[in-house]
């Protein structure tokens, strides 16, 4: 052999040996988790169309479209802004030398942003015209020279732990904010707590006592005090509208001197160091703003509270002016508009002044805040298609996953499922059933009917199962399971169940011979197994039986188990535990229960069958629901657990409803995938329970109203 041939041979042998030696990274992954290089999808209803940016309008001019400024950069979603009263040296050092001495002072904005798959708090200095002649164009023509952007806290400031970040404000060099990076350690106890990060040194301390959850922090004008909405020791009892919180005050410096100042209230805002405005839902059904005056030497001896906004409209999420103690900015819902708007309210003259309706009448505006001199009011809204980058709606939004090696995505639809090879996704976007390649190509509507819960046949290529009919319906509702060959030109359908009776959640056995599903045919929703090809005509067996609901079943990839959700411990209560059972009806076991009265729903096995992903209220709520658009179940987060019920891990951290997860066998590249048709910007809804005839509905939505009778008197 010539020496070059030896050389090539050696190279071939070298690469052959290299292949035999497992690489260190894959070896460690295999030891700890055989699901690396898989993907999880889930749903967050409405969230992918938020496209929030922070805007501001002057309070000194009558508000018009031409003096509204977009302050944030049109990337991802930006919300819950705060204009700091003074700028600490660590932020000043980021600004160009001349910027604070020119006539055109920049906006200094602190806000929450969801980007790169998790929450961050950013500081932006936005350069613009004078407040006398706002130069809107300068903002729209964003370039490096008109904006300084500084990420303040994110994953790295939370020891690498993914978390929700919320409601930031500044006290000197300290950033005060909510984070959920510490496990409360107790099922159904919120992880939301207030932290302080020193911007100079980066050191972070927790201000909320262990075992307590705090929401919506606000720092007093002097910086000495912070007010929060908190459960204290009592904890969350399942509220999804108004939280049953009280208002507490503590020292911003170290969390000490903590005292309850108001029973029943949320979203505090300080006018001065003794005056707090807050919101509460009254016994007459209206959300109203209240004023609490604290008196006492050091700390608080007595508090007088007074309702300041009248019944007849909802007024909430107040922001107090620190210049005029009688001026507040509020979000309102009035009978005269379908939309949430920002208004000013003078507490003495009882006069409202519209801020956003003249600017954009057909948009929701959320969570107002004042500039330090009260000459501007900020808020967030969907940037829509006119401003900024417009509609960047996504099909798949990549999220940072605390479990390495597993790609995590939010999909613009619900009930997703993966094809056996993981290259296609079936999902529902109301109303209609779609199939798409995981890279966003080949999007195709399969049906325009109202479908739910999709599944792919593991053996017959292109065959999917779903059920058509209304969701959350009674046992006798007409819902039937179909198989559809989506590779057929004419989409051949086959109806597998007969005669309605709420047949849903089909999940095939790994050999493709059987389908487990839930049916209301006995008068209760229980699980059944039928022939996959011929449907129940080809063979039907009842798997579970009892006067309760068994539902959301999923067959494990090794064929051994069927996981499902059941309310059998307390039928009809709304509480669901997760169980698993062998397909032969033996070995029933509870996998997990989320505290007393909790929910664990939509189990879905990992491709190796060793783990289950599901949605749960295990981490309770993470923010006041009224500060967001509508979510039916704002406590929903995605969790993974070993299928023996051990090692629960939280994957998502937000104040939205995350649900219907699915786990696929391939690793989808962890980058966002845009919707080929541009998407559906701003197609979210305001809280359904903000009824403009609240007296009708308030009786059945009585959370936290027990003590409200006297408190709400005018």
Footprint on this chain of ligand NAG (rule: CB under 6 A): 115-116, 120, 151, 154, 251, 253-254, 256
Q: Of 472, 438, 439, 440, whose CA–CA distance to 453 is shortest? A: 472
Name, in order, each residue with C-beta under 8 angstroms of 198's C-beta and a sequence gap of 6 or more.
173, 174, 204
Shortest approach of ligand NAG to residue 190 CB, angstroms? 24
Shortest approach of ligand NAG to residue 206 CB, angstroms? 12
Label residues 179-194 b or e (16+ Cβ within 10 Å = b). Answer: bbbbebeebbbbbbbb
- Which one, 115 or 494, has the nearer CB to ligand NAG? 115
Retrieve residue 517's tokens: 């599903």
Is residue 283 classed as helix, strand or coil in its secondary structure? coil
Q: Of 379, 386, 387, 265, whose CA–CA distance to 332 is shortest? A: 379
Please list the residues that pair with 282 across neighbouring strands.
none
- Which one, 297 or 647, has the nearer CB to ligand NAG? 297
Shortest approach of ligand NAG to residue 76 CB, angstroms? 9
The phi-psi region of residue 118 (left if phi > 0; otherwise alpha if psi is between -120 and 50; otherwise beta) is beta
The C-alpha angle 440, 442, 447, rounded to 5 degrees, equals 105
- Which one, 142 or 648, has the nearer CB to ligand NAG? 142
Q: Cα(658)–Cα(191) distance, rounded to whole angstroms?
A: 16
- Which one, 108 or 258, has the nearer CB to ligand NAG? 258
Shortest approach of ligand NAG to residue 622 CB, angstroms? 20
Handedness of CA 310, 311, 312, 318 (dihedral sign): positive
Retrieve residue 133's tokens: 């002649």
Handedness of CA 589, 595, 596, 599 (dihedral sign): negative
Place of tokens 């005839």: 693
- Which one, 224 or 701, has the nearer CB to ligand NAG? 224
Shortest approach of ligand NAG to residue 256 CB, angstroms? 4
The C-alpha angle 153, 110, 119, rounded to 5 degrees, equals 40
Burial of 488 (0-12, 13-18, 19+ CB in 10 A): exposed
Shortest approach of ligand NAG to residue 209 CB, angstroms? 11
- Which one, 205 or 444, has the nearer CB to ligand NAG? 205
- Which one, 123 or 505, has the nearer CB to ligand NAG? 123
Shortest approach of ligand NAG to residue 151 CB, angstroms? 5
- Which one, 250 or 427, has the nearer CB to ligand NAG? 250
- Which one, 151 or 358, has the nearer CB to ligand NAG? 151
Per-residue CA distances from 379 to 295, 329, 439, 643, 684 (Å)? 31, 10, 35, 44, 17
- Which one, 115 or 590, has the nearer CB to ligand NAG? 115
- Which one, 116 or 326, has the nearer CB to ligand NAG? 116
Name, in order, each residue with C-beta under 8 angstroms of 19's C-beta and a sequence gap of 6 or more.
none
Shortest approach of ligand NAG to residue 184 CB, angstroms? 22
Residue 558 phi, psi dihedral angles, 5° rounding:
-90, 0
Shortest approach of ligand NAG to residue 405 CB, angstroms? 18
Is residue 139 classed as helix, strand or coil in its secondary structure? helix
CB–CB of 58/71 below 8 Å?
no
Per-residue CA distances from 189 to 81, 212, 278, 701 (Å)? 27, 8, 23, 21
Going by their DSSP bridges, the two strands 38-44 and 414-418 should be labelled as unpaired
Shortest approach of ligand NAG to residue 518 CB, angstroms? 42
Shortest approach of ligand NAG to residue 219 CB, angstroms? 15
């Amino acid at each position: 052999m010539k020496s070059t041939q030896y050389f090539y041979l050696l190279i071939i042998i070298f690469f052959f040996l290299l292949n035999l030696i497992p690489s260190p990274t894959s070896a460690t992954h295999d030891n700890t988790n055989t699901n690396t290089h898989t993907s999880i999808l889930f749903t967050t209803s409405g969230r992918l169309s938020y496209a929030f940016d922070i805007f501001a309008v002057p309070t000194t001019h009558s508000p018009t479209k031409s003096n509204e400024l977009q302050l944030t950069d049109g990337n991802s979603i930006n919300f819950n802004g705060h204009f700091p009263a003074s700028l600490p040296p660590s932020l000043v050092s980021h600004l160009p030398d001349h910027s604070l001495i020119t006539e055109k002072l920049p906006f200094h904005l602190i806000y929450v942003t969801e980007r790169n798959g998790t929450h961050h708090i950013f500081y932006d200095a936005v350069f613009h015209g004078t407040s006398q002649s706002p130069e809107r164009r300068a903002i729209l023509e964003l370039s490096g020279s008109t904006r300084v952007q500084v990420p303040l806290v994110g994953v790295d400031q939370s020891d690498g732990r993914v978390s929700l970040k919320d409601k930031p404000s500044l006290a000197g060099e300290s950033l005060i904010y909510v984070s959920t990076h510490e496990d409360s350690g107790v099922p159904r106890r919120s992880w939301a707590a207030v932290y302080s990060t020193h911007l100079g040194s980066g050191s972070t301390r927790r201000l909320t006592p262990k075992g307590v959850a705090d929401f919506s922090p606000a720092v007093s004008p002097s910086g000495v005090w912070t007010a929060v909405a908190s459960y204290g020791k009592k904890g969350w009892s399942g509220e999804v509208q108004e939280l049953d919180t009280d208002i507490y005050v503590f020292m911003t410096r170290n969390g000490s001197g903590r005292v309850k100042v108001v029973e029943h209230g949320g979203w505090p805002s300080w006018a001065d160091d003794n005056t707090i405005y807050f919101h509460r839902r009254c016994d007459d059904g209206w959300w109203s703003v209240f004023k609490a005056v604290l008196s006492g030497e050091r700390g608080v001896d007595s508090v007088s509270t007074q309702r300041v906004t009248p019944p007849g409209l909802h007024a909430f999420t107040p922001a107090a002016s620190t210049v005029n103690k009688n001026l507040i900015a509020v979000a309102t819902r009035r009978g005269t508009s379908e939309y949430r708007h920002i208004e000013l309210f003078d507490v003495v003259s009882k006069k409202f002044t519209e801020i956003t309706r003249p600017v954009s009448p057909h948009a929701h505006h959320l969570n107002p805040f004042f500039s330090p001199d009260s000459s501007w009011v900020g808020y967030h809204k969907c940037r829509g298609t006119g401003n900024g980058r417009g509609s960047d709606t996504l099909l798949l939004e990549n999220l940072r996953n605390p479990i390495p090696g597993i790609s995590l995505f939010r999909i613009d639809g619900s009930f997703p499922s993966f094809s056996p090879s993981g290259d296609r996704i079936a999902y529902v976007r109301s109303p209609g059933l779609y199939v798409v390649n995981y890279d966003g190509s080949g999007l195709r509507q399969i049906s325009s009917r109202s479908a739910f819960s999709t599944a792919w046949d593991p053996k017959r290529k292109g065959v999917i199962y779903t059920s058509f009919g209304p969701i959350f319906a009674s046992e006798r509702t007409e819902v039937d399971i179909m198989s559809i060959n989506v590779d057929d030109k004419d989409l051949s359908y086959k109806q597998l169940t007969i005669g309605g009776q709420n047949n849903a959640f089909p999940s095939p056995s790994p050999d493709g011979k059987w389908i487990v599903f839930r049916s209301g045919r006995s008068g209760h929703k229980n699980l059944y197994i039928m022939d996959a090809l011929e449907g129940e005509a080809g063979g039907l067996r009842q798997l579970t039986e009892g006067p309760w609901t068994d539902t959301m079943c999923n067959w494990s990839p090794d064929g051994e188990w069927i996981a499902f959700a059941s309310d059998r411990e307390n039928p009809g209560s709304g509480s669901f535990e997760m169980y698993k059972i062998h397909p032969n009806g033996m070995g029933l076991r509870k996998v997990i229960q989320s505290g007393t009265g909790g929910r664990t729903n939509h189990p879905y096995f990992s491709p190796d069958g060793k783990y289950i992903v599901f949605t749960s209220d295990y981490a309770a709520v993470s923010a006041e629901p009224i500060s967001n658009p509508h979510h039916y179940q704002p406590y929903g987060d995605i969790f993974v657990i070993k299928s023996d019920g051990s090692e629960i891990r939280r994957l998502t951290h937000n104040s939205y409803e995350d649900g219907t997860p699915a786990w696929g066998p391939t690793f989808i590249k962890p980058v966002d995938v845009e919707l080929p048709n541009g998407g559906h910007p701003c197609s979210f809804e305001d809280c359904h329970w903000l009824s403009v005839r609240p007296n009708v509905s308030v009786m059945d939505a009585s959370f936290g109203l027990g003590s409200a009778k006297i408190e709400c008197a005018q």
